[in-house]
Amino acid sequence: MRTRTALAVAAAAIVALTAGCSSGGGGAGGDKADGPVSLKFLSLAWQKESIAANKQIVDEWNKANPNIKVEYVQGSWDNVNDQLVTSFEAGDPPDVIHDDSPALAGFASRGYLLDLTGKLPAELTGDIPKPAWDTVTFGDGKGGQGVYGVPFLQESQVLIGNKKLLDAAKVRIPTPDNPWTWDEFAEISKKLTKEGSFGVAWPLKSPVNKVLNLALNFGGTFFQVDGTKATVKVGPEEQEVMRRIHDQLYKDKSADPSALGMGTADPLPGFYAGKYALLPAGVYLRQQVVEQAPKDFEWITVPPLKGTSAEQGATSQTLSVAADSKYPDQAAKFISFFLNSANQAKLAKGDWLLPTSVKAASDPSMTTTENGWDVATASAKNLVVAPYLKVNGFDEWKSKVATPTLQQYFADKITLDQAAKTLVEEGNKVLERYNN
C-alpha cells in the first residue's frame, strides 16, 4: 500500500536529512560495534553491466573498510517484495535493501525501514534534487514523516527514432531545449505513416504508469488528496494524453493498433524493419537497440514530448536500511559510499538509466552523444514525483480498475467519457477502503 503525504513536507525532510549526520544515529549496535561488522546488501541489479558495477563498488568498499564487510546478495525484481515481507516478519532482513520507491511506503508504515533523517552526509543529500527525495518521503504510520531510502536511478520516457525515415521525411529533429510538442509529434507521425508502415507504435500491454506519468505533460494528476482522503480525478488535464494516443490509433491512423497488446520491447523487430518510425519508451530501451539492431541501422533518441510542460512522473530505484539492522550507522555509511557521484555514474551506465546525482549527470559518460546519452540525461530535468506514489490503495486501483479500463479505451471498445467515469466511480470505491 502507498501512504498519502503532502509533497511540501519533503522539503523539510531534505533539510533534516543532513542534521546530525556526524553523530552516527541510533539503533542496535550503531558505531559502537566491538570488532568487525558484517552487512548483507540485497541487490536487484540484473543486467550484466549493472551487476558488474555493483560488485565492483562492493569490492572497493570492502578493501577500504576491512572492519565493515559487505556481503553482496543477488535478488530479483520478480519476487523481491514477497521475500522482503517474509524476512522482515522473521526479523532477519538484509541490512541494505535495493528496491524502488513505490514499495517503500508500505514498508515504512509497517516499521520495517529505518528513517534516514540525520544519517546521511550533506555531500550526498545536497547532490540529489528535491523531486527525487520526494519519491522516498512517506508517512511513518504514526502521524509523522520520514525519508526511507536514497533515490539513485530514475527513468524518463523518450522516443526512439529511425533516423533514416526521419531524414527522408525531412522532419525537424528536436533537442532537449526545443522538443517536439504533442501537436508536432502528431503531425510528424502522420507524415511518417505510409502504406504498410506507421509513424508510431504504442505498446500498451501495461498502460497505467505510462499514461499517468505522461499525463503530467498537461498537468494531469489523476488523484486529489483532501486531508487524509484520496479520490480519483479524471478531468480534461488527465484525459489529454489518453485522447491524443487514441486519436493516433483511430483518427489519424498513424499508430498501429496491433501494437497495443505488446510489451515495451516487443515492437523492436518491426522498428528495425521500418514498420514503425518512432517508439515511445523508457530510456533503458536504448540498450536493446544497441545490442540487437542491424549493424547499418541508424537511430536517435528523441527528447520527451511537451504539452503545457515537459514534466513527467518519476519513480526511483532506492537503497534503504532495514529497521532491524544491528548496524544501521555502518549500513548508512556504506550507502553513502555506494551512491557517491562517481559510483552513480557507473550504476546509471550499467542500467542505461538516469542518475539522481547532479554531479553524476555531468560525468562525460552521461553527456556523450553516443547512444543518445546526452538527450537521455538532459531529460532528467523534467522528472517530478509521480502523484500516485502518495495514494493509499493505488496498486489495487491500478490492477482492478485502471488497467482494464485503459485497455478497453485504447482498443476502442468504450468512449473517453465512459473510461473517465469508470476510472473515477469504480476507482473511488477501491480507494474508500483505504481512506481513514
Q: Which residue has the cell 520495517?
A: 112
DSSP tag of 223: E
Q: Which residue has the cell 508504515?
A: 109
- Give the H or E element holding residue 231: strand 229-232
Cα 173 → chain centroid: 26
Is residue 376 domain-resident? Answer: no
Q: How far apart are CA 192 and CA 2, in angstroms?
A: 41
Q: What value does the CA radius of gyration of the chain take, rounded to a whole number of Å? A: 22
Angle between helices 101-109 and 80-90 (to 10 degrees): 20
Q: How far apart are CA 283 and CA 289, in angstroms?
A: 11
> Do 334 and 301 share a structural domain?
no
Is residue 261 domain-resident? Answer: yes
> Do 326 and 300 share a structural domain?
no
- Residue 34's pLDDT is 62
Q: How far apart are CA 259 and CA 148, in angstroms?
A: 38
DSSP tag of 175: B
> Do 70 and 186 share a structural domain?
no
Angle between helices 48-64 and 328-338 (to 10 degrees): 120
What burial class does residue 195 get, using C-beta atoms within 10 Å of its C-beta: 0-12 exposed, 13-18 middle, 19+ buried?
A: exposed
> Do 206 and 165 share a structural domain?
yes
Number of domains making up the chain: 2
Is residue 166 domain-resident? Answer: yes
Strand ranges for 283-382 from DSSP E: 299-302, 312-314, 316-321, 354-355
Is residue 403 domain-resident? Answer: yes
Cβ atoms of 349 and 47 within 8 Å: the answer is: no
- Residue 20's pLDDT is 39
- Residue 26's pLDDT is 38
Q: How far apart are CA 404 and CA 406, in angstroms?
A: 6
Neighbouring C-beta atoms of residue 185, cutoff 10 Å: 23
- Residue 229's pLDDT is 83
> Do 85 and 106 share a structural domain?
yes
Q: What is the largest CA-CA distance in the chain?
A: 73
- Residue 213's pLDDT is 95
Which grid coordinates are listed for 348? 546509471
Is residue 284 domain-resident? Answer: yes
> Do 320 and 207 share a structural domain?
no
Q: How far apart are CA 15 and CA 3, in angstroms?
A: 21
- Is the pTM higher than 0.75? The answer reads yes
> Do 149 and 85 share a structural domain?
yes
CATH number at residue 95: 3.40.190.10
Is residue 226 domain-resident? Answer: yes
Is residue 321 domain-resident? Answer: yes
Cβ atoms of 148 and 320 within 8 Å: the answer is: yes
Which grid coordinates are listed for 304? 520527451
> Do 151 and 14 share a structural domain?
yes
Give, for all 436 residues of the chain, the pLDDT tens digit.
Answer: 333 333 333 334 434 444 434 333 334 344 455 668 999 999 999 988 999 999 999 999 999 999 999 999 999 998 999 999 999 999 999 999 999 998 898 899 889 999 999 999 999 999 999 999 999 998 776 778 899 999 999 999 999 999 999 999 999 999 999 999 999 999 999 999 998 899 999 999 999 999 999 999 999 999 998 766 889 999 999 999 999 999 999 999 999 999 999 999 999 999 999 999 999 999 999 999 999 999 999 999 999 999 999 999 988 999 999 999 999 999 999 999 999 999 999 999 999 999 999 999 999 999 999 999 999 999 999 999 888 888 888 989 999 999 999 999 999 999 999 999 999 999 999 999 988 6
Q: What are phi and psi of 45, to 5 degrees?
A: -55, 140
> Do 136 and 220 share a structural domain?
no
- Residue 140's pLDDT is 72
Q: Which residues pair with 226 in a beta bridge?
A: 229
Q: How far apart are CA 255 and CA 184, in angstroms?
A: 15
Q: Which residue has the cell 514525483?
A: 385
DSSP tag of 67: T
- Residue 27's pLDDT is 40
Cβ atoms of 18 and 332 within 8 Å: the answer is: no
Cβ atoms of 124 and 340 within 8 Å: the answer is: yes
Residues 6+ apart with CB under 8 A from 384: 131, 134, 216, 311, 312, 313, 314
Q: How far apart are CA 309 and CA 213, in angstroms?
A: 13
SS3 category, 384 = strand
> Do 211 and 335 share a structural domain?
no
> Do 233 and 172 share a structural domain?
yes
Q: What residues make up the domain containing 183?
A: 157-312+389-432
Strands 276-282 and 157-162: antiparallel
Is residue 140 domain-resident? Answer: yes
> Do 344 and 229 share a structural domain?
no
Residues 6+ apart with CB under 8 A from 226: none
Q: How far apart are CA 204 and CA 241, in angstroms?
A: 13
Q: Which residues pair with 321 in a beta bridge?
A: 96
Amino acid at 183: D
- Residue 4's pLDDT is 30
| End-to-end Cα spacing for the chain | 13
Which grid coordinates are listed for 123? 555531500
Q: What are phi and psi of 358, to 5 degrees?
A: -65, -40
